[in-house]
Amino acid sequence: MEKGKLQEYWATNLKYLIGLLVVWFVVSYGFGILLAEPLNAIRFPEWTGGGGFKLGFWFAQQGSIYVFVILIFVYVTLMNRLDKTYDVHED
């Protein structure tokens, strides 16, 4: 494959990585640590009529982990599609 195409592929990959890592940072360091205190004023989950979690605490001990799992699968999907588009997928 020509060089320009490959560079384009790599640039898109980096763009995905930055986007995903921003989310990664926001849910853990942002919601779970830096903003934990203000977020703790919000009760969660609302729909049970009040909620037993403070939101900042929930992000630190539960929410961030769920988001981490989702992030990896989003990455896998994006990259598999990108590999196909640029014809660098295996088999």
CA 3-7-9 angle, to 5 degrees, is 115
In the complex, what is the shortest distance from the CB of residue 1 to other proteins, in angstroms, rounded to a whole number? 5
Tokens representing 32 are: 């779970």
Q: Which residues contact 52 (CB under 8 A, 6 or more apart)?
A: 43
Are residues 40 and 57 in contact, defined by beta-carbon separation less than 8 angstroms?
Answer: yes
Mask 17-56, x = binds other proteins (CB under 8 A)?
x--xx--x---xx--xxx-x---x---xx----xxxxx--
- The reply on whether position 12 binds other proteins by CB under 8 A is no
In the complex, what is the shortest distance from the CB of residue 86 to other proteins, in angstroms, rounded to a whole number? 8
Pinpoint the alpha helices (H) of 1-91.
3-25, 36-39, 55-58, 64-85
Residues that bind other proteins in the complex, under the rule CB under 8 A? 1, 6, 9-10, 13, 17, 20-21, 24, 28-29, 32-34, 36, 40, 44-45, 50-54, 57-58, 60-62, 64-66, 68-69, 71-73, 75-76, 79-80, 83, 87-91
